[in-house]
C-alpha cells in the first residue's frame, strides 16, 4: 500500500525526559554552541521517537519538527539542557507524532546565558510506523569498528553506513558491538597482501576503555565518521549491546586476570561505566525503573513488533555451559527478562514478531576461540538442551504451545552472514515450531569464517557468506561486510529477507508468507 502524503500536519508533539541541571560559569560566554556529532533518532514507533544530539558546552536543546524539508510552520519543542555530567549529550522523547509519515527534525542548541544565540542546525529525518497495513522496510547488522579496523580516510571511512543510508529504510536494528571498547586503534596496520590500513586515532581509542570518558570516547570516535553521521540523520536506529561495548566475552561478576591492558579488573565496574556511556550516546528509551535496561519492545504497527533482547547483562559465568537443570549459573536472559519476553510475545497482535538477539541460537561460540574451550554463546555441543540452551528451549516451547506465529530471529555477532532454518525434525529437542534465524554483519570490522552448528534445535545452513577457508579478520576493504534488508508488503504481509554486502549486492533472498494466527 502507498504511504499517506508526508505533508500532513504534525500534531501534538511533546518532549519527554529531563536533562541534568548544570552550574553556569561566572562569566557568561557569548559564542554560539556547536552540534558536535550530528543527530540521531532511535526507538521510533507509530507515534513517538527518541532524538539525540551533543553540544560542545552547556546549552539548551531545541527541536523543530515539520512535514517537509522546508520547515514551514514547524512545531518547536524545548528539550533538556546539555550538561557536563552527561558529556553534553542530550536525548528527548518526542510523543504525539503522526503515524505512517515522514517527519523532518532540526536540532539546535541555545546559549543559556545569551538567549537567541543558537548553534548551526543539524537536520534529520524519521518515519513513524503506520497504524494501518503499509509497507515496512528495515535493516539489521552489527559489529562497528572492531578488530582494530577504524576510520580510514584513505578508504573513505565507514563506507558500509553509506550503503545502508541509500536503502531509505524505516529503521536499522544494530544488533550489538556498536563500539569495540576493548580493541584500541593503531595508526597503521599492514594487511596480509602488503597494503597498509591507516586509522585515525584519538587519545581515548588508543587504549582499552576503563574510565567513563574513555567509553564515551569510543562512541565519539564512531560518530566522527561522516558516513555514520549521514546515516544517523536519515535512518532511526534500534540499538542493542553485546560484549564489546564493555570487554570481550564479559559476564556479570567476572574478574579480569591475565590481561595487562586493564588496571580495572572488576567487569561489574567496567560494565557500569560502559552502560552509562551506552545510554548517553545511543538514542534508546530509558526505562523509568531500570535506567540500564536494554531489552524492550518497539511496536511499528499492525505488521511488525520488534523484541530487542539482552543476552549479556543477566547471564551466568562463561563455563562449560553443561548444566542439566535451570539455575542462575545457566542463566542467559535471566528470570525477569524471560517473563517479560513471554508476556510481550503473548500480548503481541502484530503479524510478524522479530526477536532481535545479540547472539545466534545454534552457532557454537567458544569463550576461548584459540583453544576452542568454554562457552560464550547459547549453543554448547550436540545433544539435548543443557546450560543456557535450557532457557531457549523453554522459550521455544512456550511460543509453540501458545500458538505464537511468525517469529523470526535476527542477529549478528559472528562476523559473517547466513540464513539458518531451525526444524524439530532434525533436532534433538523437538518441542518447538520451525523458525528462521538470519545473521548479518560486520558492517565495519574484521570478517571471519563460519562457526559450527549445534544440533540441539536442528539448525540447517541454507546460505552463508564469510571469509575464505584459512583466512580470518579480513579488513573492510576486502568487501565482505554485510547487512540484512527486510521488506514487509502492506497488502500480502509477506516478509522478504535479503542478505546484502557493502556493494549493495543481494547475496541471497527469501520471501516468507505469514502463517495465519
Q: pLDDT tens digits, residue range 264-316?
A: 999 999 999 999 999 999 999 999 999 999 999 999 999 999 999 999 999 99
- The conformational region for residue 301 under phi > 0 = left, psi -120 to 50 = alpha, else beta, is left
Does pLDDT of 19 surpass 80? no
What distance in Å separates the CA atoms of residue 266 and residue 263, rounded to the nearest whole number? Answer: 9
Measured torsion, CA atoms of residues 489, 285, 166, 120, in degrees rounded to the nearest 10: 140
Question: Cα(first)–Cα(last) distance of the chain, in Å?
Answer: 22
Is residue 77 domain-shared with residue 152, that is, in the same domain? no
Boundary of a domain, candidates 127, 152, 183? 127
Is residue 109 domain-shared with residue 170, that is, in the same domain? no
What confidence score (pLDDT) does residue 113 get? 86
Mean pLDDT of the 215-220 span: 98
User: Helix 335-347 to helix 389-401 angle, to the nearest 10 degrees?
Assistant: 20
Boundary of a domain, candidates 94, 127, 160? 127
**What residues contact residue 289 under an 8 Å CB cut-off, 6+ apart?**
none
What confidence score (pLDDT) does residue 30 get? 55
**Full-model pTM:** 0.93
Phi, psi angle pair for 159, to nearest 5°: -70, -20
Please check whether residue 436 lies inside any domain of the structure: yes
What distance in Å separates the CA atoms of residue 411 and residue 354, rounded to the nearest whole number? Answer: 10
Please check whether residue 4 lies inside any domain of the structure: no
CB 146 within 8 A of CB 115: no
Boundary of a domain, candidates 80, 99, 127? 127
Is residue 174 domain-shared with residue 268, that is, in the same domain? yes
What confidence score (pLDDT) does residue 78 get? 96
Mean pLDDT of the 445-471 span: 96
Among 19-28, 116-125, 497-506, which is the least confidently predicted range? 19-28
- The count of other CB atoms within 10 Å of the CB of residue 430 is 11
Mean pLDDT of the 329-333 span: 96
Q: Cell match 562463561: residue? A: 318
Is residue 333 domain-shared with residue 413, that is, in the same domain? yes
Q: Which domain holds residue 108?
A: 14-127
Mean pLDDT of the 99-114 span: 95
Q: pLDDT tens digits, residue range 480-502?
A: 999 999 999 999 999 999 999 99
Q: 91 forms bridges with which residues in the sheet?
A: 52
Secondary structure element (H or E) that encloses residue 231, with its range: helix 226-234
Q: Which long-range contacts (CB under 8 A, 24 or more apart) does 255-263 make?
A: 261/207, 261/208, 262/208, 262/210, 263/210
Instruction: Supply 335's cell numbers.
Output: 528470570
Is residue 153 domain-shared with residue 240, that is, in the same domain? yes
Secondary structure element (H or E) that encloses residue 81, with its range: strand 75-82
Sign of torsion, CA 39 44 46 48? negative
Is residue 176 domain-shared with residue 98, that is, in the same domain? no
Q: pLDDT tens digits, residue range 375-414?
A: 999 999 899 999 999 999 999 999 999 999 999 999 999 9
What confidence score (pLDDT) does residue 281 get? 98
- Measured at the CA of 314, the angle between CA 150 and CA 140, to 5 degrees, comes to 45
**What residues contact residue 163 under an 8 Å CB cut-off, 6+ apart?**
483, 500, 502, 503, 504
CB 244 within 8 A of CB 177: yes
Is residue 374 domain-shared with residue 307, that is, in the same domain? yes
**CATH code at 498?**
3.60.21.70
Please check whether residue 87 lies inside any domain of the structure: yes
How many structural domains is the chain composed of?
2
Does pLDDT of 16 surpass 70? no
Amino acid at each position: 500500500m502507498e504511504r499517506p502524503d508526508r505533508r500532513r500536519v504534525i500534531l501534538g508533539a511533546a518532549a519527554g525526559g529531563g536533562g541534568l541541571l548544570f552550574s553556569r560559569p561566572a562569566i557568561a560566554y557569548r559564542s554560539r554552541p556547536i552540534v558536535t556529532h550530528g543527530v540521531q533518532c532511535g526507538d521510533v514507533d507509530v507515534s513517538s521517537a527518541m532524538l539525540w544530539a551533543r553540544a560542545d558546552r552547556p546549552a539548551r536543546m531545541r527541536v523543530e519538527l515539520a512535514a517537509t524539508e522546508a520547515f514551514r510552520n514547524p512545531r518547536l519543542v524545548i528539550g533538556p539542557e546539555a550538561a557536563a555530567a552527561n558529556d553534553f549529550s542530550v536525548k528527548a522523547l518526542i510523543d504525539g507524532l503522526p503515524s505512517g509519515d515522514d517527519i523532518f527534525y532540526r536540532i539546535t542548541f541555545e546559549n543559556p546565558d545569551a538567549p537567541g544565540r543558537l548553534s548551526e542546525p543539524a537536520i534529520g529525518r524519521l518515519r513513524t510506523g503506520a497504524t494501518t497495513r503499509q509497507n515496512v522496510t528495515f535493516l539489521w547488522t552489527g559489529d562497528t569498528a572492531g578488530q582494530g579496523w577504524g576510520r580510514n580516510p584513505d578508504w573513505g571511512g565507514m563506507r558500509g553506513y553509506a550503503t545502508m543510508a541509500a536503502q531509505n529504510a524505516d529503521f536499522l536494528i544494530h544488533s550489538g558491538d556498536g563500539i569495540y571498547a576493548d580493541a584500541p586503534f593503531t595508526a597503521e596496520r599492514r594487511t596480509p597482501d602488503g597494503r597498509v590500513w591507516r586509522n585515525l586515532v584519538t587519545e581515548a581509542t588508543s587504549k582499552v576503555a576503563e574510565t567513563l570518558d574513555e567509553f564515551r570516547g569510543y562512541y565519539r570516535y564512531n560518530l566522527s565518521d561522516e558516513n555514520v553521521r549521514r546515516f544517523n540523520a536519515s535512518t532511526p536506529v534500534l540499538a542493542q549491546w553485546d560484549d564489546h561495548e564493555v570487554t570481550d566475552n564479559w559476564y556479570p561478576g567476572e574478574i579480569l586476570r591475565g590481561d595487562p591492558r586493564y588496571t580495572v579488573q572488576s567487569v561489574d565496574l567496567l560494565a557500569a561505566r560502559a552502560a552509562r556511556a551506552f545510554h548517553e550516546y545511543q538514542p534508546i528509551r530509558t526505562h523509568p525503573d531500570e535506567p540500564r535496561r536494554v531489552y524492550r519492545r518497539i511496536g511499528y504497527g499492525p505488521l511488525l513488533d520488534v523484541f530487542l533482547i539482552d543476552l549479556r547483562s543477566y547471564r551466568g559465568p562463561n563455563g562449560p555451559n553443561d548444566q542439566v537443570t535451570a539455575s542462575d549459573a545457566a542463566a542467559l536472559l535471566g528470570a525477569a527478562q524471560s517473563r517479560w519476553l513471554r508476556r510481550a510475545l503473548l500480548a503481541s497482535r502484530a503479524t510478524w514478531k522479530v526477536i532481535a538477539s545479540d547472539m545466534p541460537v545454534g552457532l557454537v561460540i567458544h569463550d576461548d576461540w584459540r583453544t576452542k574451550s568454554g562457552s560464550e554463546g547459547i549453543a554448547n555441543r550436540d545433544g539435548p538442551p543443557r546450560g543456557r540452551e535450557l532457557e531457549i528451549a523453554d522459550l521455544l516451547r512456550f511460543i509453540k504451545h501458545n500458538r505464537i506465529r511468525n517469529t523470526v530471529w535476527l542477529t549478528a555477532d559472528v562476523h559473517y552472514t547466513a540464513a539458518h532454518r531451525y526444524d524439530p525434525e532434525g533436532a534433538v529437542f523437538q518441542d518447538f515450531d520451525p523458525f528462521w534465524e538470519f545473521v548479518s554483519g560486520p558492517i565495519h570490522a574484521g570478517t571471519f569464517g563460519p562457526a559450527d552448528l549445534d544440533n540441539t534445535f536442528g539448525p540447517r545452513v541454507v546460505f552463508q557468506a564469510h571469509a575464505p577457508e584459512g583466512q580470518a579478520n579480513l579488513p573492510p576493504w576486502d568487501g565482505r561486510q554485510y547487512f540484512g534488508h527486510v521488506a514487509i508488503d502492506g497488502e500480502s504481509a509477506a516478509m522478504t529477507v535479503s542478505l546484502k554486502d557493502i556493494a549493495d549486492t543481494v547475496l541471497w533472498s527469501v520471501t516468507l508468507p505469514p502463517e495465519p494466527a
